[in-house]
Amino acid sequence: MDLKALEKTALSVRALAMDAIQKANSGHPGMVMGAAELGALLYGEILRHDPSEPAWPDRDRFVLSAGHGSMFLYSLLHLSGYKEMTLDAIKSFRQVGSAAAGHPEYGYSGGIEMTTGPLGQGFATAVGMAIAETMLSARFNTGNRNIVDHFTYVLAGDGCLQEGVSAEASSLAGHLELGKLIVFYDSNKITIDGSTDLSFTEDVAKRYEAYGWQVLSGSMYNFEEIVALIAKAKAEAIKPSIIILKSNIGKGSPNKENSADSHGAPLGMDEVISARKVLGIPSDDNGLDFYIAPEAVDYFKAKREGWKKNRENWFTEFDAWAKENPDLKKEWDAFYSGKANAGNLPDFTLGEKIATRTAAHKSLQAISAANPNLAGGSADLKGPNAVGIPGNYSPSNRGGVYIHFGIREFAMAAIANGISLHGGFRSFCATFMVFSDYLRPALRLSALMKQPVIYVLTHDSIFVGEDGPTHQPVEHLAVLRAIPNVRVLRPADAEETAQAWAMAMERTDGPTVLALSRQNTTVFAKDDPQWKDSLRKGAYIAQKAAKPEAVIIATGSEVNLAMEAAALSGKNVQVVSMISRELFESQSEDYQNNIVPAGVRTIVCEAGIRQGWERWAKPADIFSLERFGESGPGDKVAKHLGFTAKALSEMI
């Protein structure tokens, strides 16, 4: 280990961070300067990575959960030689189009394993990556050839450890014995408001011991000590490890070290110049020179060959494994193909009364059988969400694909993101729709990172019944649809539900919500013979009317209700089932006009708030719910709220 080169690397990280943040006039130097030594060590000595092929499957994962310290990642990616992270990108830190975005953005550069910035989520998502590693290794390692064998590293700060989501995820990680998960805690005792004495005085070490983790601690500024700690962490096969490193935020800044002033604002040019003197950063002029120590450049240059070799060795090993295990290789290819198998979807009979969640359960069995790389579970609602699939994942059964997430919705969704990001797997998670509020920040990241995670959200309206308003979503469909790149599918009957699961699996560039009913819906005859294709355009004519006097757009369980109301009204009413408003709105005007003809009165029917439907009907023609529900049997609640076929027929 070349200590001098490591020191020079840490120095360069500090120099780049100070200058880039100064130039952008925005950013967070404190954490980067405080943890630069760890960065140098990780990228130089610890991580199994190869900048010339950043996505090779068996690389170690590193997640910067403290995403505000983005310059930590960018400077090290640059030094390592990740091609997108050029010096120019760093010089345009935080500017539109730069790979060095304000916070690390997934897809902007090799080496950015996920989007971070929302504190705590990186940590929780990394737990998903670590789970995926164990699942893959159980499936594909043969004992003599272990082609899946990597670690998941996280750098988290005080903020990540204060956030509840990391607690949820840590508790589960301990339970699941994710021994290859190694978290560094940058313990600088400073957050934005000042000292952690203001709000964070618990004993983190004891907490993690209680979670079943190995707790190690040391100084951020002792390379040899950290190397020894990492060795201990790696040697612990059962417990995940947290390495608490005492550090000084803003280290090297003479007036801002150990102060919240260095957390989230440029140091100021005068302070940058003083810091350079303290740190021994040579500077020809007093401007921004983005100094990189030549020793650091040489050090990383010298590493590249070894990294490449290491990666090539893995491919050689992989090829040998593939030759010896052609069936496994086939399965591996299927896992990594990015394509879902259609599976043998169940048939349903006209008039059959079945909840869409139950129809979804049947469909999921077929899809799971055809796609053994589909992994997921529910937040303790396996039965109610109807998402059980064979094979519980546990420390003694890493080959299982059903995960008991416990009552931890937010961590569940973050972990589902991690499983998806890791590669090899598709993931799903499930809870009551009303509790999607508990996981929404992770759904937002699925959407932002374009991960095709499937969110099974059952009990999707006031028809939930007796559990009452706390369990009855009203605003949630609107809320879920409001997130860009989230596809909300609300199938109307069992047949649509089977297609909805298939549609969710077909999607590759973002998350899908399956909004499913607790109560029965009746399988209806579809007047559009091509309805399965039309469904994929967001909406189709479920019940055609020759010269319609009105068109009802209904979603999910309300399609039944709309048909009943149409019959009661005695009028010529066309009923449209709109499984996805977003998909429908992205179709050609012609298609839209075929389904919802202009010049005909349009009524919208959905058991939720009207927000977002105004484009399709006048407010007075939107049959919606603008209040919380009530507790009682579903049909009684609906009657009490005036949400009945009779009321809709009167509106018609």
Ligand X SMILES: Cc1ncc(C[n+]2csc(CCOP(=O)(O)OP(=O)(O)O)c2C)c(N)n1
Taking contact as CB under 5 A, which single stretch among the options 37-45, 96-104, 151-159, 610-618 is the one that binds Mg ion?
A: 151-159
Among residues 30, 510, 629, 634, the one that binds ligand X under rule CB under 6 A: 30
Among residues 89, 119, 542, 578, the one that binds ligand X under rule CB under 6 A: 119
Binding letters toward ligand X, positions 403-442, x by CB under 6 A: ----------------------------------------
* Calpha distance 179→235 (Å, rounded): 9
Q: What's the token pair of residue 63? A: 């997640």
Q: What's the token pair of residue 154? A: 């996280």
Local structure of residue 439 (DSSP, 8 states): T
Closest to Mg ion by CB, 35 or 516: 35
Note if 495 is an active site residue.
no
Taking contact as CB under 5 A, which single stretch among the options 155-163, 542-550, 566-574, 621-629 is the one that binds Mg ion?
A: 155-163
Closest to ligand X by CB, 158 or 621: 158
Local structure of residue 52 (DSSP, 8 states): T
Question: Cβ of residue 268: shortest distance to ligand X, in angstroms?
Answer: 18
Q: What are phi and psi of 288, to 5 degrees?
A: -85, 115
H/E run at residue 355? strand 353-355
247 forms part of the interface with Mg ion (CB under 5 A): no
Among residues 171, 188, 371, 520, the one that binds Mg ion under rule CB under 5 A: 188
Nearest to 574 by CA among 593, 587, 589: 593
157 forms part of the interface with Mg ion (CB under 5 A): yes
* Calpha distance 395→178 (Å, rounded): 8
Q: Which of 409, 495, 558, 606 is catalytic?
A: 409
* Calpha distance 497→346 (Å, rounded): 10
Binding letters toward ligand X, positions 75-114, x by CB under 6 A: ----------------------------------------
Among residues 190, 552, 566, 648, the one that binds ligand X under rule CB under 6 A: 190
Binding letters toward ligand X, positions 239-268, x by CB under 6 A: ----------x-------------x-----
Question: Cβ of residue 17: shortest distance to ligand X, in angstroms?
Answer: 12
* Calpha distance 246→241 (Å, rounded): 16
Sign of CA dihedral 59, 61, 67, 72: negative
* Burial label, 136 (beta-carbon count in 10 A; 0-12, 13-18, 19+): buried
Place of tokens 């309300």: 558
Place of tokens 């007796």: 466
CA distances from 606 to 11, 144, 257, 562, 625 (A): 59, 57, 56, 9, 8
- Applying the rule CB under 6 A, the residues between 51 and 70 that interact with ligand X are 66, 68
Residues 629 and 637: beta-carbon distance below 8 Å:
yes
Residues 417 and 452: beta-carbon distance below 8 Å:
no
18 forms part of the interface with ligand X (CB under 6 A): no
Residue number, nearest CB to ligand X: 157
Sign of CA dihedral 92, 95, 101, 102: positive
Among residues 1, 55, 87, 192, the one that binds ligand X under rule CB under 6 A: 192
Closest to Mg ion by CB, 122 or 400: 122
Q: Which amino acid makes up residue 260?
A: A
Q: Which amino acid makes up residue 571?
A: K
Closest to ligand X by CB, 193 or 333: 193
Among residues 63, 190, 401, 433, the one that binds Mg ion under rule CB under 5 A: 190
Question: Cβ of residue 66: shortest distance to ligand X, in angstroms?
Answer: 5
The one of ligand X, Mg ion, none whose footprint includes residue 119, by CB under 5 to 8 A per kind, is ligand X
How many other CB atoms are found less than 10 A from the CB of residue 539? 26
73 forms part of the interface with ligand X (CB under 6 A): no
420 forms part of the interface with Mg ion (CB under 5 A): no
Closest to ligand X by CB, 170 or 191: 191
- The set of residues, in sequence order, having a beta carbon less than 8 Å from that of 109 and lying 6+ positions away, is 74, 77, 82, 84, 85, 89, 99, 100
Residues that bind ligand X (CB under 6 A): 30-31, 66, 68, 117-119, 157-160, 163, 188, 190-192, 249, 263
Instruction: Provide the annotated active-site residues.
Output: 409
Interacting residues toward Mg ion by CB under 5 A:
157-158, 188, 190
